Structure 1
């Protein structure tokens, strides 16, 4: 298996709130927007973030077809919330951390930790929760950067 991820899909309890946050508030352009079902955003070369209505997400994992019949395969439980996961948005400097956090708050996000210097590697970061509980780390790390082709360069 190749070392790559093309889609990160998150179960979303309020798809309309996600649309208001990402599209209307942050100005992200949807790659696809299927009302009542899913939003896709191109977030990097070859990588898409999907926000999938939680009822339909659960149905998809359980293998339930639109006809109401069960597909072959085991049912999966999605009743537990995701924990221990953040999505990171890296920026060029501490000022941009503050600006980005403010934009996320104006879009309907909630600050979990205000911008500050962290305990690891000189990072300056903050944590913001979107309207559906997705936690974003907004960070500047002087020890590494993302190059023009989208690759992370350490050191």
Structure 2
């Protein structure tokens, strides 16, 4: 298996709220939007983030103890400076998100960040990390 993830799919109890937050509030453009079912966003070359209506997500996966719920997940978005962290956290709040941690110094690696929960509970870390960069070929550099 190649070391790649092409889709990240999150169950959402309110697909319309997710759509309003990401499309109307943040200005994202759907790659594919199936009302009442799922909305896909291309977030990087070859990478898609999807929000799947929770009941249909459960049906798609099946049920039972072999299908445990995932916990402890955040999505992260890195920006160029501390002011951009503040601006994006404010924009996400204006779009219907809830600021969980106001922009502040992080506990690790010189990161300045904020945590914002979208209307369906997805937690985003908005961060300025001076040790993070992406080369022209897409290679991520940390540290």
Q: TM-score range by the shorter chain?
A: over 0.9
Matches within 5 A, 1:69-84: 75-76=63-64, 82-84=70-72
- Please give the per-residue CA displacement for 1:20-53, whole angstroms capped at 9, x wherever unaligned: 0000000000000000000000001110000000
Q: Which residue of 2 aligns with 1:140?
A: 128
Structure 2: segments with no counterpart, 5+ residues: none
| 8 A contact 1:44–1:150 mirrored in 2 | no
Matches within 5 A, 1:119-138: 119-138=107-126
Correspondence 1:26 to 2:26: yes
Structure index of larger Rg: 1
Structure 1 position 152, deviation (Å): 1.4
Structure 1 position 81, deviation (Å): 5.4
Count residues in correspondence.
Answer: 143
Equivalent of 1:114, from 98, 102, 117? 102
Structure 1 position 119, deviation (Å): 1.4
Q: Which residue of 2 aligns with 1:37?
A: 37
Structure 1 position 80, deviation (Å): 6.7
| 8 A contact 2:112–2:127 mirrored in 1 | yes
- Please give the per-residue CA displacement for 1:95-142, whole angstroms capped at 9, x wherever unaligned: 000011011001100000000011111000010000000000000111
Cα RMSD of the aligned pairs, angstroms, is: 1.7
Q: Which residue of 1 aligns with 2:49?
A: 49
Shift of the 149–27 alpha-carbon distance from structure 1 to 2, 3 Å rule, reads farther
Correspondence 1:100 to 2:88: yes
| 8 A contact 2:61–2:67 mirrored in 1 | no
SS at match of 2:31: strand
